[in-house]
Structure 1
Amino acid sequence: MIKNNDKISANQVAIILFTTMVGAGILSLPADVSKEVGPNGLIAILGGGIASLFFARLILYLSSKFPTETFVEYAGKLITRPISIVISAVLVFYFVMFVSLDARIFGEVLKIYLLPSTPIEIIILTMLFSSAYLVRYGLEPIARMSEILFPIMVIPLVLLFLPALTDVDLSNFLPFMRVSLIKFFKGMLMTTYSFVGFEILYLLFPYVIDRDKLKRSVNSAMFSTMLFYMYITFFVIGIFGYKETREQLWPFLTLIKSINFPVFFIENVEGIIMGIWTFTIFTTIYSFHYFATLILSKLLKAREHSYFVLPAVPIIYLISLIPDSIVTVYKYAGYVSQYMSVFFIAILPILLYIILKVKRLGGKDEEKT
C-alpha cells in the first residue's frame, strides 16, 4: 500500500534523479577522466552520459511493465523469488555503501576546509541524523526538499564559474582524441561513479502520479547532469590543463580557491561554495538512505520503511569509518563503482530485459516508456 506522502510527480522524479547523481563525484570527476583520457575528458563524460541515459531508459522500461510493483516484487517473477531476494539484499548493501562513502567524503572535506577542530565522527553523525530525520517522513517530503535545494545547488555554481571564463585556455583540450579506444572506454567507465543514482528507477515507478511523463523526466535529468558535469570539467581542465588536473585529489575545490571573484562584499566565497556542496552531498545521502530502507521494508514485508531508518544510521556510520584515509575511501568507491555499479546499471537490466522478452511477462506499458 502506497501512502499519500509517497506520491510524487514526474517533474519531481527528474529533480530527485539529478540531485541524487550530483554529489561527491563533482569533486574528483575532472581528475578521474584526465587520468584516463587526458584532454578528452569532456568527450568521455558525454559518452558516459549517453550510455547512462540508455540504461536509465532500459530500467524505466522494465519498471513500466510492472507499474504497481517495485524491483523487489517484479524481480521475483522474472528471476525467481530466492534469487531476487539475494539481489535485492545486495542492492541494499550497495546503497548503504554509497551513503557511507559519501558521508565519509563529506566529513573529510568539511574537516579540511571548514571545521578543522571538529572530530570527523561528529560531522558524519550530524549528516546521517539530518538525513534520517527527513527520510523517515517518506518520498514526497524528500521530493519537496530536492525541489528546494535544486536551484540552490545549480544556479550559484553556474554563475560563480563565469568570471573564470577568460582564464580558460582552449589549447588544454588538445590533442583531440589521440587516445586508444580501450583507454577512452575506460575513461567513460570512470564516469560511472559520478552518474550513480539513476538505479533508484528500479523502485520509483509505482510512486509516480503522471507516469506518461516519466520518459521526458528521465531524459531531462540525465542530460542536465551530463551538461553540469561537462560545465565543471570544462573550467577545471581549461584552466589547469589535464596534466595538472590529474595530479589533484579535488580539482573542483582547487579551482574555487584560484578564481578571483569580483564580489568584493563577500569575504569568504569558499565558505559559500562549501555550503552549496554540502547540499549536493546531502541530497545524495538522503536519497540512497531512503531507498535502502524502502527495499528492506519490502523484503521483510514491514508496513513502514521508517522502522529501519534510525537502525541503519549506526551501521552506515561504522562502515564510513572503516577506511583509514581518504585515499582508501576512493579506492573502495572505485571497487563499488567498477563492479557493483556496472552490475546494477548495465548487466542486470540487460539480463532482466532478455528474460522479460523470453517469458513474455509484464503488462502493457501504457506509459510508452
Structure 2
Amino acid sequence: MIKNNDKISANQVCILLFTTMVGAGILSLPADVSKEAGPNGLIAILAGGFISLFFARMILYISSSFATETFVEYTAKLITKPISVIVSITLTIYFMIFVSLDARIFGEVLKIYLLPSTPIEIIILTMLFTSAYLVRYGLEPIARMSEILFPIIVIPLMLLFLPALTDVDVSNFLPIMRIPFCKFLKGILLTTYSFVGFEILYMLFPYVFDSNKLRKSVNVAMISTMLFYMYITFFVIGIFGYKETKEQLWPFLTLIKSLNFPVFFIENVDGIVMGIWTFTIFTSIYSFHYFAVLTISKIVKSREHSYFVLPLIPIMYSMALIPDSIVTVYKYAGYVSQYMSIFFIAILPVVLFIILKLKKAGAKDEEKT
C-alpha cells in the first residue's frame, strides 16, 4: 500500500533524477573522459548522455506497463519469483554500494580540503546518519529536499566558472575524431556510467501521481545532466587541456583552486564550492539509500520502509571502509561500473523489454483464438 505522502509529481522526479546522477562523479569525470576520448570528451559525453536516455526510457516503458507495481513485483511476473528475488537483492546491494562509495569519496575529499584533523570514520558516519534521518520520512520529503538543493547546486557552480571563460583555449578540443574508434567507444561507455542513478526508475513509477508526464520529465532530467556535465568538462579541458586533465584525480577541484575570481569580498571560494559539492553528494547518497531500503521492504513485504533505514548503516559504513586508499576506491568503483552498472543499465532492461513484448504478443494471440 502506497501512502499519499509518498506520492510525488513528475517535475519532482525530474529534479530527483538530476540530483541523484550528479554526485561524486562530477569530480573525476573530466579526467576519466580525457583518458579515453582525449580532446573529444564533450562528444563522448553527448553520445553517452543520449545512450543513457535511451535505456532510461526503456526502463520507464517497462515500469509503466505495471503502473501500480515496483520492480520487485513486476519482475516476479516477467522472470519468475525466485529469479526476481535474486535480482532484487542484487539491486539492493547495488544501491548500497553506491551509498558506500559516495560516502567514502565524500570523507576523503573533506578530510583533504576542509577537515584534515577529523577522522574519516566520523565524517562518513555523520553523512550516513544525516541521510538516514531524511530517508526514514519517505519519498516526498526526499523529493522536496532535492527541490530545495537543486538551485543551490546548479546556479552557483555555473556562475563560478563564467569568469574563466576568457582562459578557455578552444584548440584544446582539437583535433576532432582523430582517435581510434574503439577507444572513442570506450570513452562513450565510460561517460554512460556517469549517468548512473536513473536506475531508480525501476522503483519509482507507482509513486508518481501524474505519471503521464514522466516521459518529458525523464527527457529533461537526462538532457540537463548531460549539458551540466558538458559545461563542467568544457571549462576543465578548455583550460588545462586533455593531457594535463587526465593526470589529475579531481580536476574539477583543481580548476576551482586555480581560478582568479573578481569577487574580492569572498575570501574562501574553495570553502563555498566544497559546501555546494557537499549538497551535491548528499542528494545522491540519500536517494540511493532510500531506494535500497525501499527495495528491501518490497522483498520482505514490509508495511514500513523505515524499519530498515538504521540497520543498513553499519553495513554501508563497513563497505565504505573496505578500500585502503582513494585509489582503491576508484578501482572498486570501476569494477562496479563495468559489471553491475552495465547489467542494470543495459542488459536487464533489454531482457525485460523482450520478455514483456513476447508476453504481450502471446496475450494478443490468445485473444484472437
TM-score band w.r.t. shorter chain: over 0.9
The alignment-based identity, stated in percent, is 82
Question: Residues of 1 paired with 2:258 and 2:205: CA distance?
Answer: 43
Q: Residue 103 of structure 1 corresponds to which residue in structure 2? A: 103
Q: Residue 240 of structure 1 corresponds to which residue in structure 2? A: 240
Aligned-pair CA distance for 1:197? 0.2
1:5 aligned partner, one-letter code? N
Q: Say if 2:45 and 2:192, in contact at 8 Å, map to a contact too.
A: no
Paired residues, number: 364
Q: Say if 2:6 and 2:140, in contact at 8 Å, map to a contact too.
A: yes
Question: Residues of 2 paired with 1:129 and 1:299: CA distance?
Answer: 24
1:187 maps to 2:183 = no
- TM norm structure 2: 0.97
Structure 1 segment 50-199 matched on structure 2, within 5 A:
50-199=50-199
Which runs of 5 or more residues in structure 2 are unaligned? 365-369
Runs of 4+ in 1 over 6 A off after TM superposition: 361-364
Structure 1 segment 10-21 matched on structure 2, within 5 A:
10-21=10-21
Question: Residues of 2 paired with 1:189 and 1:94: CA distance?
Answer: 19
- TM norm structure 1: 0.97
Q: Say if 1:38 and 1:242, in contact at 8 Å, map to a contact too.
A: yes
Which is further off, 155-164 or 186-195?
A: 186-195
Q: Residue 211 of structure 2 corresponds to which residue in structure 1? A: 211
Q: Say if 2:236 and 2:252, in contact at 8 Å, map to a contact too.
A: yes
Deviations 1:345-369 (A, max 9, x none): 00000000000011118999xxxxx
Q: Say if 1:189 and 1:338, in contact at 8 Å, map to a contact too.
A: no
Question: Residues of 1 paired with 2:266 and 2:71: CA distance?
Answer: 48
Q: Alpha carbon RMSD of aligned pairs, Å? A: 1.2
Which runs of 5 or more residues in structure 1 are unaligned? 365-369
Deviations 1:144-170 (A, max 9, x none): 000000000000000000000000000
SS in 2 for 1:360: helix
Deviations 1:88-111 (A, max 9, x none): 000000000000000000000000
SS in 1 for 2:11: helix
Q: Residue 284 of structure 2 corresponds to which residue in structure 1? A: 284
2:343 aligned partner, one-letter code? F
Q: Residue 328 of structure 1 corresponds to which residue in structure 2? A: 328
Question: Residues of 2 paired with 1:362 and 1:154: CA distance?
Answer: 47
Question: Residues of 2 paired with 1:52 and 1:24: CA distance?
Answer: 18
Aligned-pair CA distance for 1:191? 1.3
Question: Residues of 1 paired with 2:3 and 2:291: CA distance?
Answer: 16
SS in 2 for 1:2: coil
Aligned-pair CA distance for 1:192? 2.8
Which is further off, 175-184 or 195-204?
A: 175-184
1:224 maps to 2:224 = yes
Question: Residues of 2 paired with 1:282 and 1:37: CA distance?
Answer: 29
Question: Residues of 2 paired with 1:49 and 1:339: CA distance?
Answer: 19
Q: Residue 367 of structure 1 corresponds to which residue in structure 2? A: none
SS in 1 for 2:194: helix
Q: Say if 1:65 and 1:363, in contact at 8 Å, map to a contact too.
A: no
